Amino acid sequence: MQTIHGWMSSSVPLVNAGGFGMRVLITGGAGFVGSNLALSFKQQHPSATVVAFDNLRRRGAELNLALFKKSDIKFVHGDVRILHDLEDLEGNFDVFIEASAEPSVLAGIKNSPRYVVQTNLTGTLNCLEFARLRAPNLIFLSTSRVYSIGPLREIALKETPSRFEIAECQRLTGVSTKGIAEDFPVHQPRSLYGATKLASELILQEYVELYGLRGVINRCGVIAGPGQFGKVDQGVFTLWVSSHFFKRPLTYTGFGGTGKQVRDLLHPADLYSLLKEQIEHLEDCSGEVFNVGGGPTNSTSLRELTATCQNVVGNEIPIAASPESSQVDIPLYISDHSKASTIFGWQPKHSVSDIVGSIFNWLKANQEALKPIFTG
C-alpha cells in the first residue's frame, strides 16, 4: 500500500512509465483547457493515444487543429449533446477528461438557456453514459461558479488602494483568508452555468455510487494562459492582456468601476500537474470534490492586472469605468485549494506575472493569426 499525503492508497497507477497503451479522451478537447491538457498528455506520454473531441463552436478553437496534427493527437469533430457522436468513437479509454462546457456565466440571461443547459447538463449525462460503458476513470472539470452568488456577495471584505481582500472575521462557513473552500454555500442561485455544473456534479456522484465509476470533481477557478481566446464573459484576463497588446480600450465594469474585483489565476500546466496525481489515485479519491485555483498568492485585481500588463507588454491603453454590476458578478473569488494540496502534495507554480508573460509571448509569436480574433 502507498500513502497519498495521509490517505491510504491501494490504487494501481493508470499511467505506466512510458504511457504505453494508454488511451485518453478529452471532451471539449479543442478548447483552451482541453487542448492544453491534450498537448501536455501527449508530450509527457508520446506513445499514448490522445483523442480531442470538440464541436468547434468557440471561435479560435479551429486554430488548435494544426497543433494536434503536428503532435499526433487525434481530433474528432463531435458534440456532447449528441450521444451518437460519442458512441461513434473507436475503442475504450483508460482516462476520460470531461472538459466540455458552455463556460459563460452570462449564458441564458438575455436569451434562451437551451444551449447552456443541453451542453452542460445533457452533455454531461451523455458523457457519463459513455464513461459507464467505455471509460471508467473520469476527471470532471466543474467550476467555482457552483457557489451561490448571494453568499459570495456577503463575504466580509476590506478595501485597499488596489483591491478587495477577504476580512479575517467571517460569519459564513467555507471562507477564510485562504479563500473559498468546498463547504461554502451552494443552496441559493448561482447562474445557469453554475447550476448546470452543480447538477452535473450530483449526477456524477450517483454514477460513482451506483455503477462503480471512478470519478473526481474539480471546481476550477479562473484558468488563464496562452491559447485562450478571451472575451468579457469568459477569459477576461487573456482579453486584458490582448487588449494591451493590440492597443484596444477596456472598461472596469461593476462594483464602482474601480477595477478592484479580485480573482485567482491558474495556469493550465498547473492544472495538468494536479490531474496527473488524481489519475494515479482515482480509486482513493473517487466521488470527491476539490477546489482548484491559484489561491491567494496567485490572485489579482483588474487594477493590479492593468499594472502588470503595462509592465510586461509595454503599452498603456485607455480604461473607462462602468460602476453598475451585473446580476451574476461578484467582487471576489479566491480558491482555497488546501484540500487538494494536503491530499496530493500539489501547489500551483505559475505566478500572475508568469501567466501574463506567457500570454504576451503567445500573442507576439502569432500576431497575424490572432489579431482578427481579438480585434474583430
Question: pLDDT at position 59, please?
Answer: 80
Q: What is the DSSP letter of 326?
A: P
pLDDT tops 80 at residue 233: no
Query: Per-residue confidence at 48, pLDDT binned at 50, 70, 90?
Result: very high
Domain annotation covers residue 376: no
Q: What's the rounded Cα separation, in Å, for the pair 376 and 374?
A: 6
State the DSSP string of 64-96.
HHHHHHHHTPEEEE--TT-HHHHHTS-S--SEE
333 in a domain, yes or no?
A: yes
Give the percent of the chain with pLDDT over 90.
86
CATH number, position 243? 3.40.50.720
**Domain extent at residue 120:** 2-371
Residue 83 resides in a domain: yes
CA distance 210 to 187: 24
Look-up: residue for cell 471508467? 136
* Residue pair 291/373 in contact by the 8 Å Cβ criterion: no
Tracing cell 464541436 back to the chain, one arrives at 55
In a domain? residue 189: yes
Pairing state between β 332-333 and 2-4:
unpaired
Question: Domain tally for the chain?
Answer: 1
Exposure string of 230-251, with b = 16+ CB inside 10 Å and e = fewer, is bbebbbbbbbbbbbbbbeeebe
How far is it, in rounded angstroms, from Cα 188 to Cα 287?
23
Express as a percent the part of the chain with pLDDT over 70.
94
Per DSSP, what are the bridge partners of residue 139? 97, 216
In a domain? residue 280: yes
pLDDT digits (tens, 9 = 90+) for 250-268: 999 999 999 999 999 999 9
Which residue intervals of 186-235 are DSSP H helices?
192-211
Q: How deeply is 324 buried, as exposed, middle or buried, from its count of CB atoms within 10 A (0-12, 13-18, 19+)?
A: exposed
> Are 301 and 352 a contacting pair, CB within 8 Å?
no
Sign of CA dihedral 281, 285, 287, 293: negative
pLDDT recorded at residue 7: 43
The answer as to whether 193 is a domain residue is: yes
Tell me: the pLDDT tens digits for 185-201? Answer: 999 999 999 999 999 99
User: Of the candidates 261, 263, 174, which has an alpha carbon nearest to the alpha carbon of residue 223?
Assistant: 263
The three-point CA angle 257-260-265 to 5° equals 125
324: left (phi over 0), alpha (psi -120 to 50) or beta: beta
**b/e per residue, 268-300, with b = 16+ CB within 10 A?**
bbbbbbbbebbbbbbebbbbbbbbbbbbbebbb
**Residue type at 257 in one-letter notation:** G
Per-residue confidence band for 18, with pLDDT thresholds at 50, 70 and 90: very low
Mean pLDDT on 31-37: 96
Spatial separation of the C-alpha atoms in residues 25 and 39, rounded to whole Å: 12
Res 12 pLDDT > 50: no
- What does the pLDDT average to over 76-82? 98
Q: Is residue 74 a part of any domain in this protein? A: yes
Per-residue pLDDT reduced to its tens digit, 103-113? 888 888 889 99
Q: Which of 110, 374, 102, 353 is nearest to 250 (CA)?
A: 374
> Which pLDDT score is estimated for 232?
61
